[in-house]
Structure 1
Amino acid sequence: MKNRRLFWNIVAKIEELIDSGQYPPGSRLPPERELAENFAVSRPTIREAIIALEVLERVEVKTGSGVYVLEHTKPCSSLSISAFELTQARALVEGEAAALAATTITEEELVRLKQTLVEMGKGINPELADKEFHSIISSATRNNAILMAVNDLWKLRETSPLVKAAYKDVCSQSDEKRLAEHTSIYQALADRDSQAARAAMHHHFNRLINALFEANEKKALEEVRKQTSQTRDLYSLSHLVS
């Protein structure tokens, strides 16, 4: 375990040198012996670190030539995605998912879907019921790519601090509207009406994104009032004329 931690330390140190520009993309790393001496570790440890760097796509090992630094592209997960962008993406993806599911959903899935509406209505963990509702629809498409896309968007909603904060206030204040919108989606699916299912899903997300805009505007106004109040207190002449 100690050796494992050691070679990961070397990986981190080499990545730091690469990111600092000491070893730019296209350049060759020093030979294994030199790296071992520089980091005061064994050559097998350097080999393990190089293998790890190759797996991470930070370097390329060219037999007989050496180890070369690759151009590093940050993963998409590092992008900052707003609640507005996420909601728009969900509307586009889940609108089409609902349209497709209307032609493929089973009676059993409709029963499960209706149960989530019952749970939302009774306030039995409505957030979980909401997620299950959308998950059932994406599964009903019989398209694993759509299922993966919907799951990934939900994961982003649950893990992004910015998105979670934006959704928290909006969702907690609209349980009745959310239930009504989900009921409309369910009815369109039960009627096997693709156009109605798509429209109902779009209506749901349109209301949500408008609520996000309203919440954002309210927050901005509150911030302006706060700054104005602070400025007034700073420059007020009330103490001179009272």
Structure 2
Amino acid sequence: MNVAIEPKNLSGGRLYQRVAEQLAAVIAEGEYPPGSRLPAERKLAERFDVSRPTVREAIIALELAGCVEVRGGSGVYVSAESNNNLSSAEFAVGPFDILEARILVEGEAAELAAKRITDEELVEVRAALEAMVQENEQEPICEKADQNFHMLIARATKNEAVASACAHLWALRNSSPVSARILEKVRQSGSRPRIEEHLLILDALERRDPEGARDAMREHLSRVIQQLLDATEAEAVEEARRKIAFNRERFGISK
């Protein structure tokens, strides 16, 4: 499954940063006064001519800056004492961009690793997968075993540049406040690293199947993108359910 992030038209700076800045500007101009609810994600995506994931990243950046408040099951509201705090905010690379890069880099890394991985390294990768199973049962989940699994594969390429690129992408993932907030939403929704997807990657490596390893890695990371999309859409889904339940009760409609 390939989850595409469509091309964007804004330029200059990170895209979600540009959207956040423009949205903060219209809030400051009074278009959306304190306490008011922002338009639906789809409407904002149309207004700024960007993808919905980019709008989600922008909203989370505004939330971290204290400009808006995300209320589960209700929507996004302008903070009562909203001011433009974005000038002091740090705009790291967004999580969807990071995942797109990981699909490219780690997919090829898995293909190369399948050609070069040793039996000893395969034992280490399987041990990391077993640690991931145990880690998934813990609260809070830290995902160290997940990162170790991916980095063991990157190092199995025997290519320092590839391993360094993978390590850099993981560092971006772990240091980005916007990425951390979205990952928090994912974990709150009950999602965990999917063991079966990692097992497919390992199986391809053990068969020394380069194409299979690459495809399994790309499929896994594409599904991670979908996890992020699903988790960050949870508030909108919950709101829709609430409205449906209200209307059913209002008009006496049974389920």
2:233 to 207, 213, 217: 217
Residues 91-122 of structure 1: per-residue CA shift (max 9 Å, x gap): 11100000000000011110000001111122
1:149 to 154, 165, 182: 165
Superposed displacement of residue 223, structure 1 = 7.9
Say whether the 8 Å CA contact 2:121–2:156 is kept in structure 1.
yes
Cα separation, 1, equivalents of 2:206 and 2:187: 25
From the superposition, tell whether residues 190 and 148 of structure 1 become closer, same or farther in structure 2 (CA, over 3 Å).
Answer: same
Say whether the 8 Å CA contact 1:99–1:197 is kept in structure 2.
yes
Q: Does 1:93 align with 2:105?
A: yes
Identity rate, percent: 42
Cα separation, 1, equivalents of 2:148 and 2:92: 26
Q: Does 1:103 align with 2:119?
A: no
Q: Which runs of 5+ in 1 are unaligned?
A: 1-77, 229-242
Cα separation, 2, equivalents of 1:184 and 1:222: 33
- Give the secondary-structure state (helix, strand or coil) at the position aligned to 2:194: helix
Say whether the 8 Å CA contact 2:92–2:177 is kept in structure 1.
no
Q: Which runs of 5+ in 2 are unaligned?
A: 1-89, 244-255
Q: Does 1:187 align with 2:203?
A: yes
Q: Which residue of 1 aligns with 2:218?
A: 202
Say whether the 8 Å CA contact 1:105–1:140 is kept in structure 2.
yes
Q: Does 1:174 align with 2:191?
A: yes
Superposed displacement of residue 174, structure 1 = 3.1
Computing the radius of gyration from Cα coordinates, the structure with the larger value is 1
Q: Which residue of 2 aligns with 1:32?
A: none
Cα separation, 2, equivalents of 1:106 and 1:180: 22
Q: Which residue of 2 aligns with 1:40?
A: none
Q: Does 1:134 align with 2:155?
A: no
Q: Does 1:83 align with 2:99?
A: no
Q: Which residue of 2 aligns with 1:57?
A: none
Q: Look up the equivalent residue of 1:210 and give its one-letter code.
A: Q
Cα separation, 1, equivalents of 2:196 and 2:191: 10
Cα separation, 2, equivalents of 1:152 and 1:170: 22
Cα separation, 2, equivalents of 1:92 and 1:86: 10
Q: Look up the equivalent residue of 2:103 and give its one-letter code.
A: A
Residues 10-52 of structure 1: per-residue CA shift (max 9 Å, x gap): xxxxxxxxxxxxxxxxxxxxxxxxxxxxxxxxxxxxxxxxxxx
- Give the secondary-structure state (helix, strand or coil) at the position aligned to 1:142: coil
Q: Look up the equivalent residue of 1:170 and give its one-letter code.
A: V
From the superposition, tell whether residues 135 and 171 of structure 1 become closer, same or farther in structure 2 (CA, over 3 Å).
Answer: farther
Cα separation, 2, equivalents of 1:223 and 1:149: 40
- Give the secondary-structure state (helix, strand or coil) at the position aligned to 2:128: helix
From the superposition, tell whether residues 83 and 133 of structure 1 become closer, same or farther in structure 2 (CA, over 3 Å).
Answer: same
Higher relative contact order (CA 8 A, sep 6+): 2
Q: Which residue of 2 aligns with 1:71?
A: none
| Greater percentage in helix | 1
Q: How many residues are paired up?
A: 149
From the superposition, tell whether residues 224 and 160 of structure 1 become closer, same or farther in structure 2 (CA, over 3 Å).
Answer: farther
Q: CA RMSD in A?
A: 2.5
Residues 193-231 of structure 1: per-residue CA shift (max 9 Å, x gap): 0111011101111111011111222235568999x9xxx
